[in-house]
Amino acid sequence: MTHYSLSHMQYGFDGLNLDYEYPAYQQSASEKQTFAAWCRELKTAFQPYGYELTAAVAAGKDKIDAGYDVPEISKYLDAIHLMSYDLHGSWESTVNHHAPMSSNVPEDYLTVDYAVKYWLQSGCPPEKLVIGIPTYGRTFTLSSPTNTGYYHHFIKLDIFLYMRINNLGIGSWASGAGQAGTISNEEGLLGYQEICLKLAEGGWTVDKATDGSRGPIAYKETQWIGYDDKETAKLKAQYVIDHGLGGAMFWDLPSDDFNNRCGEGTYPIIRTVHQTLYP
């Protein structure tokens, strides 16, 4: 594998990003050690040429614990790209924003803030940690067009009831993925461009968290979307600055409004982050 990676550098690449989802997660526990050894082997081979080695890593606590020897891999990776998105999605039975910044629920570990702090506490240098910002939203089909989260269902579990009261729309029952968009053509996902064009059609209810804990949610009839907008992206970029992190990365380039169909300029999400980090 190391020889294969080096052979591709002849095409002008300056490094390699590892995207293995996920070491030792529901697999052999030994992968935690072999993944660290892989990072060491690649970095040792790359060093004479000045090539960079980075890795996309999980944001969920269970996956972090299972697969990453954080102090060890931090020695060899030039940057650690935190996949702080897809924390929720249509594989779940209730709706939720897929990249929330924070949560008021103590048991809720699936947030950007928790993931960042857990990686740092586990031994990752802040200057190497890069947070992921989505340029797309995760979508659901609601079980009922009136089931948007405004207390239509009494849930006995305290964590879900607490979430529903404090984050309007979060926790509503879903019957499956949201309808596919005309551009991305994938159920359960809409690019930011698709989202802003849909909202422009009218009839959508949009709820923005006033405390910055998450990006907007929008719903119309049975369709429900959770996404990051320019304001959310700016808050996350400021979070990078405030915590001395290494930067921000995106998934992905074509999902942003690359040709300004929505009137906010080209690449509004990505551009907002860049302007915040480099004023």
**Catalytic residue annotation:** 21
How many other C-beta atoms lie within 10 A of the C-beta of residue 71?
Answer: 12
Backbone region of residue 8 per phi and psi (left: phi > 0; alpha: psi in -120 to 50; beta: other values): alpha
Q: Are 69 and 36 in contact (CB under 8 A)?
A: yes
Which stretches within 104-147 are classed as H helix?
112-121
How many other C-beta atoms lie within 10 A of the C-beta of residue 4?
Answer: 7
Phi, psi of 136 (to 5 degrees): -145, 165
Rounded to the nearest 10 degrees, how much is the dihedral formed by the CA atoms of 61, 62, 63, 66?
A: 120
Token look-up 């405030």 returns 242
How many other C-beta atoms lie within 10 A of the C-beta of residue 231?
Answer: 13
The tokens for 130 are: 């890069």
